[in-house]
A and B are shown apart, each in its own frame.
Chain A
C-alpha cells in the first residue's frame, strides 16, 4: 500500500476528511475502548467485525488486543455463526456491524445459532434507526427492536450515549445468553455525566416530573430531554425514562408512570409497530388500567433519506417535535 502513517496524504484543505481523520467525530463509539479495558482483566472477550473496524471504531480494541480481534471481511452471517462457535468453546465474542445487517440480515443466525443454544455472543448493531440518513433505506434499521424482542432467550439493550454504552457493556458481559446492543451512529450527545448505575430490566430515570412521562430509547432520549426542558418552561413537568433495557422490560416502570403521572408518550427512531411503543402498550393493556398514551416514532413506513439531524427534525424526533406530541397528548 502507498502509505500507513500519514492520515492526510496529499491533502491541503483543513475541511477535508477521510476515514482515518473522521474517527474522532464518532466520540460516543466508546465500545472498542471499553471492551479493551474489560479484556485487560479477563481473557475470554473477543471482538469481531465485518470490514467495519474503521467505521465502528472497533479498531480501538484491535490496537490493544490484536490477538483477540477478528475481521471476517464483508460476511455478516458468517461472522454471527463463527461467533457461536467461539462462544461454544468459552469465549465471549462481541460482533459488530450496521444494525440493518446485524438484526435483519442475520436474524436467523441470531435465533438459531445464538439464542436457542444460549451462546454468550453480544451483537453490537450500530447506526440503528434512521441515523444513516442519506445512505438510504438499505442502511436504515427501524425494525430491529421488533425482530430482536421476538427472539426468545435474547437480551436487548439500547444505550443512549457513551456513558450508558460503557454501563450496559459492563452490566451484560455475564448474561447467560446472547445480547443485542442497539447503538446509534457514534455522535450521541451525553445524557449521563458518568456511566449510570443500571439495573437489569429497569428504565433509567433521567428527569422527574408528574404531568407526563416520556419513555424514550436511543436517539429519542436526547430529544425527550430537550422536550422536557421546553415543556418545563410552560409549567409542564415531564418524567423522562431512558429505556436502556428493552428486554427484559420494565413493567413496573410503566405501571408507575401510569399511576403517578398524567400520561405516557413513547419516543423511538423505530417503527411504532413492534418497537418500544408496542412494548409499553402491552403493559398498559394487560394492566387493566388506562392512561393517555401515544406512540411516537416512524409510522410503519420507509423513512425519507437526508442528513440524519434533518431527518430527526422531519419526523419530529427533535425536542420541538416531541414537545408538540406531548402537548397534543395532554390536550394543552
Chain B
C-alpha cells in the first residue's frame, strides 16, 4: 500500500475488555437463550440445553472479551473462538448477526435446504466462524495449531476453545492438552463448560471425568474455577486471562447446568435434543423474558 493511501479503517474493530456490566451480560445471555428457542422452532429440533449452559460465557466472549472485526472476519490479528461442542452453535449465530458479521435475515432459513446454518458451525459458509466443528474432540487440537501459528508469526491474538465436560472423554483432548503445555502456549485458553450432562445421562454416570482440575494441572495448565452462570464470575475470569506472550495455557473450568434458565430443562436427563411445541415454547420464553425485564440473572450454583 502506498503512503498516500488513506489509513485502513478500524471503525468496526471490537477490542478486548469492552464495557459490559454484570446485569448487561445476564440480559445478553437470556437473549441468546431466546434466540435459540426461535431458531429451533424453524428447524423442528435442536440442542436447546447445550446452549443454555454456556449462554453467559458466550455473551461474555462476544460482547466483552474477544478482539473481533465483524467487517473483516478474516482479520489476521483477530482473537479466535472455537466451539468444540459444536452442537451449541445455534447460540453463536444470533450473536454474530447482532455484531454485524452478516445480516440478521440470513438466519431465516436456518437448517433449510442449502442454508449456511446447520446444527454444527461451518467455517466455509458463515462469516465469523473460525473453524468448523461437530466431531467432538477435534477443536482443542485445532486451537493448539492456531496458537502455535500466532507464535510463529509473532502475532498477539488469543485462541479460546470451548469444550464440554463429556468431550473430555475423547482421547484427542488430552493429546492436545499435552502439546499445548509442551509448546508453552499461554495464548491458548480452554473453557470447559462443565454442564454435568452428556447425551446418555450425567457425565459422572456415563464416563466420569473428575477430578477435572487435577487433570488439567497435571497436564501443565493453570486452572481457574468459576460459576458459569454468575455474570461477575465469568467476566472476572476472562479479564484475568494471562498475556498472550505468557507460557502457561489456561483452563477455565465453568461449573454450569445443562438446560439452565428454563426450569423444566434444568439438568434434565431428557433434553439433549428435542423440540418445544407452541405451549411449552411460550412457557420457556415467558420464563426467560421475565428475567430480562426484571434485570435478574439465572440462579447460579452448579447443583
> What residues make up the interface of A, taking CB atoms closer than 8 Å to B?
1-4, 7, 9-22, 49, 51-55, 71-75, 77-78, 100-101, 105, 133-139, 304-307, 310-311, 314
Contact = CB atoms under 8 A, between A and B. Distances in A.
Closest 4 CB pairs of A and B: A73-B207, A138-B134, A10-B264, A13-B277
Contact of A137 (B111, B134, B273): B134
| Best-surrounded residue of B43, B136, B278 (most CB of chain A within 10 A) | B136
A307 B115 CA distance: 11
Given A53-B200, A71-B206, A75-B171, A20 B111 contact: no
Contacts of B167: 74
Contacts of B198: 51, 73-74
Interface in B253-303: 263-264, 266-281, 283
Nearest to A9: B264
Contact of A17 (B43, B134, B275): B275
A12 B118 contact: no
A25 to B, nearest CB: 10
Contacts, number: 155
Given A12-B279, A54-B199, A136-B122, A72 B207 contact: yes
B266 to A, nearest CB: 7
A2 B267 contact: yes
A297 to B, nearest CB: 18
Contacts of B283: 10, 12
A20 B270 contact: yes
Contact of B277 (A16, A78, A311): A16
A306 B115 contact: yes
B135 A138 contact: yes
Given A10-B263, A74-B207, A139-B120, A18 B277 contact: no
Contact of A2 (B171, B266, B275): B266
A105 B200 contact: no
B134 to A, nearest CB: 3
13 contacts: A1-B202, A11-B264, A12-B280, A14-B277, A15-B277, A16-B277, A19-B273, A51-B206, A134-B118, A135-B120, A306-B115, A314-B113, A314-B114
Nearest to A139: B134
A112 to B, nearest CB: 16
| Best-surrounded residue of A2, A137, A138 (most CB of chain B within 10 A) | A138
A11 B274 CA distance: 12
Interface of B: 43-44, 86, 111-115, 118-120, 122, 132-137, 166-167, 169-171, 198-203, 206-207, 263-264, 266-281, 283
Given A16-B277, A51-B199, A52-B199, 8 more contacts: A4-B269, A15-B278, A71-B200, A105-B135, A136-B134, A138-B132, A306-B114, A306-B115
A16 B274 contact: yes
Contacts of B170: 74-75
A3 B271 CA distance: 12
A305 B111 contact: yes
A150 to B, nearest CB: 21
A49 B198 CA distance: 13
B134 A18 contact: no
Contacts of B269: 1-4, 19-20
B179 to A, nearest CB: 18
A18 B266 CA distance: 13
Contacts of B271: 18-19
A9 to B, nearest CB: 6
B199 A55 contact: yes
A13 B278 CA distance: 7
A54 B263 CA distance: 22
A310 B111 CA distance: 11
A61 B269 CA distance: 19
Given A73-B198, A74-B167, A135 B267 contact: no
A100 B134 CA distance: 11
Nearest to B263: A10
Nearest to B201: A1
Contacts of B278: 13, 15
Contact of B120 (A12, A19, A78, A136): A136
B119 to A, nearest CB: 4
A7 B269 CA distance: 9
A326 to B, nearest CB: 24
Nearest to B89: A136
A221 B192 CA distance: 44
A18 B280 contact: no
Nearest to B165: A74
